[in-house]
Amino acid sequence: AIQPQRKPDWLRVRLPVGKEYAHVRGLVDEHKLHTICESGNCPNMGECWGAGTATFMILGNICTRSCSFCAVATGRPLAVDTDEPNRVANSVKLMQVKHCVITSVDRDDIKDGGSIIWAETINAIRRESPDTTLETLLPDFRGIWDNLERVLETRPEVVSHNLETVRRLTREVRIQAKYDRSLEALKRTSATGLRTKSGIMLGLGEREEDVLEAMDDLLEAGVHILTLGQYLQPTRNHHPVVDWIHPDQFASYKEWGLKKGFRYVESGPLVRSSYHAEKHLFEM
Ligand code: SF4
Ligand code: SF4
């Protein structure tokens, strides 16, 4: 294995280029819009924005959870901002986003888990940009399934919930989450007939057989779309990178995944949950 301190060449950040990207970049700067693509300094901005895809985070930027891989601040979140759905819908419209990915922090502090703002945001985007397709990267709502259903009722084109890691590492990586509860959330989503998606980060110390087991579990839960990407440590206080997974290994996982029965698999070092998100809308 490669020394964890040294990032391998295949993870070098790509410089965002292209006419479409420059256009969106201009709109974002002009209107001071806020995206996760930018605040997370995502290496795929050139490609995604060029393809009309962008990711927005709602319900504030402080999370009630403290997953060991995640750069989002933990603590007591601010009060819910009821104007947020309109603001996000306005950004989507200004940026002319074709495929909009929405995610949120976990709001275990409020009764509805944030599901009311979630549903209002989706409805506001539908109202302002009726041709924009929506992908929602949802929390597990602590297993309060009424809250999940409230969001599913808005019928986003794709619903994802990330398993993030394999069963064996879940406790270490996502202390307040549960592997089986995540599977249950996915199962309930898939049962409503919506396109269902999940993602796993690799390089946290999982073994090949762990990944294959996770694939089987996700298929069993009815998941159609799988993303696999390299975990990168946001700061030295976060979970260390245990392995740099070679691009060939990502390619094998993709092959296995498709053979096992996923309809679409995006697997590679720079793959993020929303990477090429617009593609599987048409390819499945
Ligand atoms: Fe934005 Fe996701 Fe694309 Fe990164 S992968 S640029 S966060 S849409
Ligand atoms: Fe980060 Fe989500 Fe975990 Fe919160 S629940 S710490 S936002 S990964």
Q: Mind listing the pLDDT tens digit for each residue in 187-206?
A: 999 999 999 999 999 999 99
pLDDT at position 2 over 70 = no
Matching residue, tokens 């053979």: 259
Provide the pLDDT confidence category of residue 5 given band limits of 50, 70 and 90: low
pLDDT at residue 38, rounded to an integer: 86
What torsion do the CA atoms of 60, 195, 41, 82 make, to the nearest 10 degrees? -20
SS3 32: coil
- Residue 105 alpha carbon to ligand 2 centre in Å: 6
CA 48 to ligand 1: nearest atom: 3
Least confident of 12-16, 72-76, 155-159: 12-16
pLDDT at position 281 over 80 = no
Alpha-carbon distance of 274 to 191, in angstroms, equals 22
Alpha-carbon distance of 87 to 89, in angstroms, equals 5
Residue 79, burial from CB neighbour count under 10 angstroms (0-12, 13-18, 19+)? exposed
- What is the total count of domains within the chain? 1
Residue 242, burial from CB neighbour count under 10 angstroms (0-12, 13-18, 19+)? middle
Q: Whose CA is nearest to atom 2 of ligand 1?
A: 274
Ligand nearest to the CA of 47: 1
Residue 30, burial from CB neighbour count under 10 angstroms (0-12, 13-18, 19+)? exposed
Least confident of 39-43, 87-91, 150-154: 39-43
pLDDT at residue 40, rounded to an integer: 78
pLDDT at position 151 over 90 = yes
- Residue 104 alpha carbon to ligand 2 centre in Å: 8
**CB 275 less than 6 A from any atom of ligand 1:** yes
Mutate to test the pocket of ligand 1, among 42, 95, 98 (most ligand atoms within 8 A of CB): 42
Provide the pLDDT confidence category of residue 78 given band limits of 50, 70 and 90: confident
Q: Is residue 57 part of a domain?
A: yes
Provide the pLDDT confidence category of residue 61 given band limits of 50, 70 and 90: confident
pLDDT at position 34 over 90 = no
Q: Is residue 4 part of a domain?
A: no
Q: Is residue 75 part of a domain?
A: yes
Write out the residue range of the structural domain in which residue 236 sits: 9-282
Helix pair angle (179-191, 208-220), 10° resolution: 40
Q: Is residue 1 part of a domain?
A: no
One-letter amino acid of 245: I
Q: Whose CA is nearest to atom 8 of ligand 1?
A: 54
Strand pairing partners for 133?
A: 99
pLDDT at position 3 over 60 = no
- Tell me the average pLDDT across 238-249: 96
The mean pLDDT value of the chain amounts to: 92
SS3 95: coil
Alpha-carbon distance of 223 to 105, in angstroms, equals 22
One-letter amino acid of 163: L
Helix pair angle (19-31, 84-94), 10° resolution: 140
- Tell whether ipTM is more than 0.85: yes
Identify the sign of the CA torsion 77, 79, 83, 85: positive
Provide the pLDDT confidence category of residue 137 given band limits of 50, 70 and 90: very high
Q: Is residue 150 part of a domain?
A: yes
Q: Is residue 2 part of a domain?
A: no
Ligand nearest to the CA of 174: 2
The CATH code of the domain that includes 159 is: 3.20.20.70
Q: Is residue 236 part of a domain?
A: yes
pLDDT at position 83 over 80 = yes
198: part of which helix (H) or strand (E)? Answer: strand 195-202
Provide the pLDDT confidence category of residue 284 given band limits of 50, 70 and 90: low
pLDDT at residue 283, rounded to an integer: 60
